[in-house]
Structure 1
Amino acid sequence: MAVLGIQGVASGTGGSDGEEVSPYSARAREKGPVEGEVHKLALKPKGRGEAVLSQQDTEPFGLLGVSWTDPEAEVKGRIEARTRDADSGKWSKWVVLEQAESGLDGKRPGLRGATEPVWVGPSDGAEVRVTGGGALPAGMELNLVDPGAGAAKAKKKNELGLGPAAFSLPAVDPAPTTPGPESTAPRPDVVSRVQWGADESLNDEGPVYLPGGKIKAVFVHHTAASAPYECSESAAIVRGLHVYHVKTNGWRDLGYNFLVDKCGTVFEGRQGGVDQPVQGAHTYGWNAESTSVSVLGDYTNTGASAAALEGISKVAAYKLGQYDGDMNGTATLTAGATQKNYAGTSFTAGQQYQFKSLSGHRDGFNTECPGHQLYPQLDTVRTSGPAAQLKIASVNGATAAPGATLPSGAALTVDWTTSTATGRLAKFELLVDGEATAVTDGAGRKATAVVTDGKHEVRVRATAANGKVSTSLAVTVEADVKGAKFVPLTPKRLMDTREGLGVRKGPVGSGEVVTLPVAAATGGTPTAVVLNVTATNPTQPSFVSVFPSGTTRSSASNLNFTPGKTIPNLVVVPVINGSVSFYNNQGTVDLIADITGYFTSTGDGATQTNFGPKRLMDTRTGTGVPAAPVAAGGVVTLPVAGVDGVPATGVKAVVLNVTATNPTQPSFVSVYPSGTTRSSASNLNFTPGQTIPNLVVVPVVDGKVSFYNNQGTVDLIADITGYFSDSDAGATHANFGPKRLMDTRTGTGVRKGPVTGGSVVTLPVAGIGGVPAAGIKAVVLNVTATNPTEASFVSVFPSGTTRTSASNLNFTPGLTIPNLVVVPVVDGKVSFYNNSGSVDLIADITGYFS
């Protein structure tokens, strides 16, 4: 549809601050519905196929057209009009008015033949002439539309605050009781009919929806308003079109489904709901399977603005995304009329034809619309959207469809498809319950994540190279994940990059990953393994992340270190495909991994019981063992079974937070089951002046645990936090994460800012980020202390209880220290205490016991 404009710059819309502006500006009227007016002036026949409306003063108006009684009648001659600018008093040039296609809104009573409407801006005079041919239809008249506020007194520009922000009224349009289909593309911001002031008293018939209920294509139009307009006038232009289409053409409503102005503001057009398949009156013969976007302006000689093109893109992506369409794809439409298009292609009613999913008006009808310059711009628009036709194809190998419910175990593997070329894509994210659990690059079409027992909503989110995002429709998985029991193992070294044990020989490079097979070492079917991982010989400050092979690494880290340091940490890592991967961020580093046990949901194993934290050993005070540092090559043995409430029998392993302090030489400590031969595995590595903690899960064979120091002397402290036993009353383990729950640097989970000396921050964990809200006995957290200002320690303890003397992390200024913590959950939260100075704390959850 073409709408011509005939005003020049003297339209009352230009000028600098302080000049008068258009009374059709969005803020030159009261908020709410605006009743437009149509003033009718009869044309005077002159014979010989001519008619005139002599130059005369008129009521204020902003849009005009000529109409006649018989909608089937055709004016053979030339219809021209010119207007007088209400501000300058100047008359415009003569402009030809194009005859509109009758029947665009179907056969209905009250239809009139008419020209396309012309937006002219604020005007108060008009003249019309009809020349050149044949008998004229009866009842020819000039229709002058005042879209509301036309008689309002113009105000100073600097008092109005003109611009798209003028359309900020609350949208309270009536909505269908049933929401429209969900789209893979985001719903754009749309100025609703309430916001642009639609006079709904004109619409007493209600909306009509597409017969098949599906939008297959989007047709792009322009309104060809060549008169310059301010974006603050856009609402008035839309109101003018609405009034003209209803009162002059005799249609049920505004013809277009959506309109976009040069500033990119999107307006709701025909009534019925932005999210609904509303049938418009826009592209003759093709309205029954399509929707439309019309750009305000004339794009015959000038291309549309980047903002307007973006508005088209957003609407098209959203509407086609509701029906699995691709605006860079094609659609098959059935012709509703026999006709030709602008290129001369013939269509026969009832026959099917292929169109581009985003087409111009001229592709379906014989018109120049959407203009010679906008039409080729549609090629750019077609490739400007987010990933299209994004859908989950399978879950764990089973074919999936939107809304389907499929079974899963702990390992969830999702495949997806998209019609968008890989080169236009940046990344994909696998979303489980709304949170990203795996990330791939733009070439990825599969990802694996670990899920907990129960129902989960699964989607895939795509980010295109242009930054635009689309999200697949959801699939539900019902995960049957049995609680896992612990099987302790005598510590055994599985990996050492210094010797080529388990993986290739050589340090792990910057950004590099090494993958270690672990399943065979367990002798069972592990759901997770417990590894003591040590980083040594680092060349740069860096971190190491340990994650399930076959999944995408998260942002969680397990070890943080600087050159010259040897840092150990216990890791509980899920096992998906039998292997575990190790990522180094920068520089090079040697990695060592010693296995101390595994979790399994098949076969026999031990359950977990929270206990403590309670100090069982301190060589400085003689607690548990003699009061003296452990000498070079010395061993101290600590009774644990039957001590301070630990059961005397049935205990398979204990969970100890072991701290080395006051070392005199670089050394390491190994913690191992008393009554067995010590292996080469180490649990703590340290240098003089350091205080180093590490969590240890150590098997219990004869009721005692042994501690070996390699060289120099060192004091050792051991705090028990729980044990594994053959009791049926204990808790079982569930893999979860790794997922960042707390970061005081960013305000994640707790308030933003370092934890000061003597203060406590408390982190909710139950019911957070997918952790079950009830039944949680303990959580497994990798806690990292960074940016400390003083030598201090951090204690992690159950919220709602009194903190003991036990510490989990010990550090000095300049260090970043991680440690694994298994902390009981009493009231759904966990507390973190810092002793002195200030420090930032990070907590990544890796599992829980329930």
Structure 2
Amino acid sequence: MRASRAAALAAIVLAGSTLLPIGTAAAADGPQVGAASTYFSVSNYRLVDTRVGNGAPSGKVGPDSVTKIDISNALRLTSGAVPTAAVMNVTVVDPTIDSYITAYPDGQARPVVSSLNVTAGRTVTTNRVTVQVGANGIVDLYNHVGSAHVVVDLQGFYTAKGANSGYAGSTFTIGTPKRLLDTRTTIGDRQGRVGAGEQNALAADVSSVMDPAQPDTELALQVTATEPTEASHVTVYPAGQRVWNTSDLNFGRGQTVTNISYMDVGRSGLGLYNNAGQVDLIVDYVGRFKHNRYDGDVGTSGLFVPASPTRVLDTRIGQGAPAGKAGPGSTTRVKVTGPNGVPANVAAVVVNLTSTNATEDGHITAHAAGTPVPNTSNLNYRTRTDVASMTIVPVSADGYIELYNPHGRTDLVVDVQGYYTS
């Protein structure tokens, strides 16, 4: 666990190959939104690894199966608080066929959403997931078809404001999207592909978005690996520390993969480690967390309110937008407030953004409706492959986000996982 958080814890199916769930069913029974909450981070604590029987029985999870993850028991908060939501990196290894994983609160009906999409022949697939925790402290992971190993790393959790003894927790400020690093260009302080075993500390470029009053600012960053020469993984970690034995991005040769990471960045900057081959890396700024002082008043802004996962866009069936693929140069406008108890005037939403039925490779940029399209990407998609990426998107005053597709044609799916208060 990160040293700066240890104290808190001590107190504590369609045509083609797609298998994305489809339907306009309402969200799960029971509470639709949870309590306004503050965030606590951990150092990628491994909750489940079915390859070795850690946190679940040893062996691949099967079709139509549910793996239960006891978040409360893993944290054992001495305050007695039950986490309201968990931020996890979910990795699927060696799937036998194309499938999807759905993360949802235990005790509620499984919603019509997906959290991670896997493809047979792709050895490892990873996506970050923010999921509401059941009232009993448990999260469910559902595997649709086939068999695969599942690995789950806890990156952080939320508790209701003021519930975790005197530990205030962190609040979130959505930022103006900004590209901090692109090793293919001169953006950032590292140019050229990152080689096998390289550990790069990015200091100057991340300092521009850090809070000068907090030298250990925690940033929300969209990290992308592109044009790798072989299968590998990338780990994001605080520079100056040992490389963590976890991964943020997993990719095969030639693939472009994006994932979001919440990372404490100290005076030494942000660390990026590539395990094998050579790869270009891109880092986009999304926002930052404010570490509130012990027993401090965190106010009402930047609190996270988890929601039962709810689908607000599916262009395959005309849900949330006209039916039909998003074409080159198109902008898809999506209403994200209203459904599932998400009120007006929220600062940002946490969504799972998925591409399916793509005719060629491309990328999607998500931003508040009516604002200029930033030079960043939130999802990189591939031909005839379902690809998901969790992201945080600022919301316009009238409750919309926009999805810009510069090239290619693809269907788009958006599932809301919660929101941040303004």
Q: TM-score range by the shorter chain?
A: 0.7 to 0.9
Distance 1:536 1:808 in 2: 23
Contact 2:40 2:157 (8 Å CA) reproduced: yes
Distance 1:590 1:670 in 2: 20
Which residue is 1:584 aligned to? 143
Which residue is 2:242 aligned to? 677
Per the alignment, in what secondary structure is the counterpart of residue 519 of structure 1? helix
* Cα deviations by residue, 1:307-341 (Å, 9 ceiling, x for unpaired): xxxxxxxxxxxxxxxxxxxxxxxxxxxxxxxxxxx
* Cα deviations by residue, 1:165-218 (Å, 9 ceiling, x for unpaired): xxxxxxxxxxxxxxxxxxxxxxxxxxxxxxxxxxxxxxxxxxxxxxxxxxxxxx
Distance 1:561 1:839 in 2: 17
Contact 1:596 1:698 (8 Å CA) reproduced: no
Structure 1 window deviating more from structure 2 (519-528 vs 637-646): it is: 637-646
Which residue is 1:724 aligned to? 289
* Cα deviations by residue, 1:78-135 (Å, 9 ceiling, x for unpaired): xxxxxxxxxxxxxxxxxxxxxxxxxxxxxxxxxxxxxxxxxxxxxxxxxxxxxxxxxx
Which residue is 1:663 aligned to? 228
Q: Pick from 741, 751, 758: which aligns with 2:329?
A: 758
Contact 2:181 2:189 (8 Å CA) reproduced: yes
**For residues 166-181 of structure 1, what are the structure 2 equivalents within 5 Å?**
none
Give the ranges of 4+ consecutive aligned residues of structure 1 lying more than 6 Å apart after TM superposition: none
Contact 1:624 1:639 (8 Å CA) reproduced: no
Q: Pick from 776, 795, 801: which aligns with 2:371?
A: 801
Shift of 1:707: 1.1
* Cα deviations by residue, 1:197-240 (Å, 9 ceiling, x for unpaired): xxxxxxxxxxxxxxxxxxxxxxxxxxxxxxxxxxxxxxxxxxxx
Contact 1:493 1:680 (8 Å CA) reproduced: no
Shift of 1:561: 1.6
Which residue is 1:819 aligned to? 389
- Which has more strand, going by share of residues? 2
Q: Pick from 267, 270, 274: which aligns with 1:709?
A: 274
Q: C-alpha root-mean-square deviation of aligned residues, in Å?
A: 1.9
Paired residues in the alignment total 379
Which residue is 2:113 aligned to? 556
Distance 1:572 1:489 in 2: 14
Which residue is 2:308 aligned to? 737
Which residue is 2:13 aligned to? none
Which residue is 1:530 aligned to? 87
Contact 1:450 1:735 (8 Å CA) reproduced: no
**For residues 591-606 of structure 1, what are the structure 2 equivalents within 5 Å?**
591-601=150-160, 602-603=163-164, 604-606=168-170
Contact 1:781 1:845 (8 Å CA) reproduced: yes
Amino acid at match of 2:195: A
Q: Find out whether 1:570 has 2:128 as its counterpart.
A: yes
Q: Pick from 53, 78, 91: which aligns with 1:500?
A: 53
Which residue is 1:486 aligned to? 39
Amino acid at match of 1:757: P
Which residue is 2:418 aligned to? 847
The higher radius of gyration belongs to: 1
Distance 2:382 2:170 in 1: 37
Distance 1:701 1:645 in 2: 12
Shift of 1:684: 0.6
Which residue is 2:65 aligned to? 512
**For residues 62-461 of structure 1, what are the structure 2 equivalents within 5 Å?**
436-438=26-28, 449-452=30-33
Distance 2:155 2:368 in 1: 26
Cα gap change, 1:600/1:661 in structure 2, threshold over 3 Å: closer, same or farther? same
Contact 1:490 1:673 (8 Å CA) reproduced: no
Distance 2:273 2:54 in 1: 23
Q: Pick from 592, 608, 611: which aligns with 2:172?
A: 608
Distance 1:622 1:437 in 2: 45
Distance 1:549 1:797 in 2: 31
Distance 2:335 2:108 in 1: 27
Contact 1:607 1:724 (8 Å CA) reproduced: yes
Distance 2:208 2:281 in 1: 19
Distance 1:757 1:641 in 2: 31
* Cα deviations by residue, 1:16-57 (Å, 9 ceiling, x for unpaired): xxxxxxxxxxxxxxxxxxxxxxxxxxxxxxxxxxxxxxxxxx
**For residues 684-699 of structure 1, what are the structure 2 equivalents within 5 Å?**
684-699=249-264
Distance 1:640 1:843 in 2: 34
Q: Find out whether 1:627 has 2:222 as its counterpart.
A: no
Q: Find out whether 1:778 has 2:357 as its counterpart.
A: no
Which residue is 1:318 aligned to? none
Contact 1:625 1:637 (8 Å CA) reproduced: no
Amino acid at match of 2:90: V
Shift of 1:738: 0.1
Contact 1:641 1:703 (8 Å CA) reproduced: no
Cα gap change, 1:751/1:522 in structure 2, threshold over 3 Å: closer, same or farther? same
Shift of 1:822: 0.4
Contact 1:657 1:808 (8 Å CA) reproduced: yes
Contact 2:201 2:269 (8 Å CA) reproduced: yes
Per the alignment, in what secondary structure is the counterpart of residue 586 of structure 1? coil
Contact 2:353 2:391 (8 Å CA) reproduced: yes
Contact 2:227 2:256 (8 Å CA) reproduced: yes
Shift of 1:643: 2.6
Shift of 1:550: 2.2
Shift of 1:645: 4.0
Distance 2:74 2:55 in 1: 11
Amino acid at match of 2:332: V
Shift of 1:584: 0.6
Which residue is 1:832 aligned to? 403
Which residue is 1:391 aligned to? none
Amino acid at match of 2:189: V
Shift of 1:652: 4.0
Distance 2:108 2:50 in 1: 22
Per the alignment, in what secondary structure is the counterpart of residue 341 of structure 2? coil
Amino acid at match of 1:585: H
Amino acid at match of 1:518: I
Distance 2:100 2:108 in 1: 19
Amino acid at match of 1:578: G
TM-score scaled by structure 2? Answer: 0.85
Distance 2:68 2:376 in 1: 35
- Unaligned 5+ segments in structure 2 are 1-24, 293-297
* Cα deviations by residue, 1:498-553 (Å, 9 ceiling, x for unpaired): 11111111111010111122224435332111001111201111101111222221
Amino acid at match of 1:498: R
- Unaligned 5+ segments in structure 1 are 1-434, 439-447, 454-480
Per the alignment, in what secondary structure is the counterpart of residue 755 of structure 1? coil
Q: Which has the higher contact order (CA 8 A, sep 6+)?
A: 2
Distance 2:200 2:373 in 1: 27
Distance 2:120 2:416 in 1: 27
Contact 2:68 2:140 (8 Å CA) reproduced: yes
Distance 1:639 1:522 in 2: 32
Amino acid at match of 1:749: G
